[in-house]
Structure 1
Amino acid sequence: MSGKPVLHYFNGRGRMEAARWLLAAAGVEFEEKFLTSAEDLEKLRNDGSLMFQQVPMVEIDGMKLAQSRAILNYIATKHNLYGKDMKERALIDMYSEGVADCSEMLMMLPFCPPGEKDAKIAAARDRAANRYLPAFEKVLKSHRQDYLVGNKLSRADIHLVELLYYIEEFDASLLASFPLLKALKTRVSNLPNVKKFLQPGSQRKPPIDEKAIAEARKIFKF
């Protein structure tokens, strides 16, 4: 065992991508064991590796951590990306949950049935433009600091920048009215560890395509 965290998931973004971003931003090298079939998932279940019978799961520091929030909270705490006190952690949690809501909405679009897709896309565009992006722009405007909480990089900034890349892929015009968010995206993207993660050939996953959708359906049987 190398001592590196080991990520168990399929070879796509999904609920593991936020952990990849967070580890990369912290400068932590990690390994991945990809699920390629329903049998791979069943094997993890049968050997007792999955507490709730589902992934993502991360092997780290002698633990097999399940549940996305637990995984992200542990990584953030370990690498000093979770604020200095309870108040800062509460804000970081609030912002991170908002990011997760918007990210989930965008990530699920490729899986929508054709008859629902146009309505879902319209709803996603409306919510991003009128609910989530204005809220985060307002936070940055309220204190005019470089980062969301305490003027120090936290998991909330990393998750938000990950979301901004998703929104840019979805509809780049949505970011036009949010200069502070664009500045945050540039600032975080230029951090050495993040910049490395954004380069071709990194462990960052590309947008979901038909092949990835088919693979996910085969593994998770939905």
Structure 2
Amino acid sequence: MTENSFCGCAISLTRTAQNPRARARPLPNSAASAPHFEAQSAAHSCCKMAMKLAYWDIRGLAQPIRLLLEYTGTKYEEKFYSCGEAPNYDKSCWFNEKEKLGMDFPNLPYLEDGGTKVVQSNAILRYIARKHNLCGETEEEQMRVDILENQAMDFRNGFAQLCYGDFDKNKPCYNEKLPGALKQFSDFLGDRKWFAGHKITFVDFIMYELLDLHRMFQPECLDDYRNLRSFLDHFESLEKIGEYMKSGKFIKTPVNNKMAKWGNRKE
């Protein structure tokens, strides 16, 4: 839902409330004696504002968040920022407004949920996951979530350095070390369906994105890791995820922003 269409919804609701024909008939004494705030609360619940996720018009750090929002059936709208073309890669669309957003640490991506504003991609994922009990149930599951959340970020940062750095020079070294990193993730997953255990958690959304990007980068990289391939299949078979991936909202490419050496084009 776009910002304009949401405003249109709000206007429509306001007009309905002002229509004399839409006025409720007098309530019986028993109902009339109920606290007025209950009716207001119910009306507010029905018209709860959608969350707003803001990021560049790429996959990047926002893709696991989008997947989690879709999986949980959360109403949200997206605000996209576009980086300029070479050689300057102008980002003024973001820098001109970042300090006006009223955030302690303004950054992309950010999430707005009513009056709540959250930055940092993992903090956003946890914020959404807590609402749906997707942070692990047992102490062991929560420990595995904590470990993988940080290990996955290290893995992602290494890939980002490759994509945005001296790609041709560093690619051979990265490819040499990649099997070792993937084996660690494969061993950590073991025979589990999901990385924390029997139930999906928010780190599965992070790992799906990272593994999917790497099979785009090097299609044969998962050939020796059957459990990682099965994990990807399980994830894509989730009903809401499958529907999202087939929709026009899903961003397949670009993966990275325009100054990157890999994944910077829409295909």
TM-score by length of 2: 0.69
Aligned pair 1:139/2:188, yes or no? yes
Residues in 1 aligned to 2:50 and 2:171: alpha-carbon distance in whole angstroms? 38
Deviation, 1:73, is 1.0
- Conserved? CA contact 1:168–1:175, under 8 Å: yes
Aligned to 1:119: 169
Matches within 5 A, 1:2-151: 3-36=49-82, 38-112=91-165, 116-131=166-181, 133-141=182-190, 144-151=191-198
User: What is the Cα deviation at residue 61 of structure 1?
Assistant: 4.3
Superimposed CA distance per residue, residues 174-215 of structure 1 (whole angstroms, 9 cap, x where no aligned partner)? 100000111111011100011122225223341337xx4159
| Greater RCO (Cα-Cα under 8 Å, separation 6 or more) | 1
Deviations 1:150-193 (A, max 9, x none): 31111122211111110110001110000011111101110001
- Measured in 2, the distance between the counterparts of 1:75 and 1:124 equals 33
- Tell me what 2:232 maps to: 185
Q: Secondary structure at the match of 2:117?
A: strand
CA distance in 2, matches of 1:122, 1:3: 48
Identity of aligned residues (%): 25
Question: In the alignment, what sits opposite 1:213?
Answer: 258
1:41-93 deviations in whole A, cap 9, x for unaligned? 23433323332232211102421111222111111111221111443222112
C-alpha contact 1:167 1:174 (8 A) present in aligned 2: yes
Q: Which runs of 5+ in 2 are unaligned?
A: 1-5, 7-47, 83-89, 261-267
The CA RMSD over aligned residues, in Å, is: 2.3
Alpha-carbon deviation of 1:108?
A: 4.2
Give TM-score scaled by structure 1 length. Answer: 0.82
Q: For this pair of structures, how many residues does the alignment match?
A: 207
Provide, for residues 108-149 of structure 1, a one-character-per-residue CA deviation record: whole Å limited to 9, x for no partner. Answer: 43322xxx2123222332333112x111211232xx232222
Greater per-residue helix proportion? 1
SS of the residue 1:70 aligns to: helix
Q: What amino acid sits opposite 1:155 in the alignment? A: F
